[in-house]
Amino acid sequence: MMAALVKLGRVDYRRALELQLKLREARVEDRVPDTLLLLEHPPVYTIGRAGGLADFKIPLEELKAETGAEVYTVDRGGRVTFHGPGQLIGYMILKPRKLGLSVRKLVQLTLEALADACRELGVEAEALMEEPGVWTRGRKLAAIGLSIHSGVTMHGFALNVSVDLSYFSYINPCGLSSSQITSLSEELGYKVDLWRLADLVANKLGGRLGVRFKEASLSSLLGY
């Protein structure tokens, strides 16, 4: 089965959310295939359905002043997390049932694909469902949070590649302490190239989901 892969570079969070909503509407109507967006964000904190202000260690105004980061409340699973440069974001606009998957199974296979990619780089990573994410030596490398409406998912995963981990010190990320967060570059001792890794992740995810990703542009999918 074919699916679209769109690499967007660095994209503002609000813009990425707008794109996801447009793609989800188009996917519901079968005007576009299953689509994976790969990108990174400028610094931003997002609050999922299970999160709240208690997950921040300082008031939001202080947070914004100290970090320059935006804060958004979003309709996805999970609590509070950080996104920023050096973190590979994968937004998944998919119909799980067309792939023969439940949402839970989609989450599991996505985490396994991310763990596959990490292991290929030499990091001993494992996908865990009880504390959803990809972990190495008790520290979290990747998080996931999806929403589903009209049978189509959006939001997705965040893999810490070379992200500045100090941003996590302002929050209890996904209910954890910031010391429990790590990155591939931290584990390997050198800076991992995010976009080379992006190709590996897409390959591993396609293998796990049974799809073949073909690179596409937003203009080819949405007409602009």
Q: Which sequence positions are flagged as catalytic? A: 174
Q: What Cα–Cα distance (Å) separates residue 14 from each residue in 17, 20, 70, 88, 189?
A: 5, 10, 10, 17, 33
Helices (H), 29-86: 60-67
Residue 18: CA count within 13 A, CB half-sphere: 7
Residues 145, 169, 135, CA angle at the centre, nearest 5°? 45
Q: What Cα–Cα distance (Å) separates residue 223 from each residue in 8, 32, 154, 215?
A: 16, 11, 20, 16
> What count of residues does the chain have?
224
Letter for the amino acid at 89? I
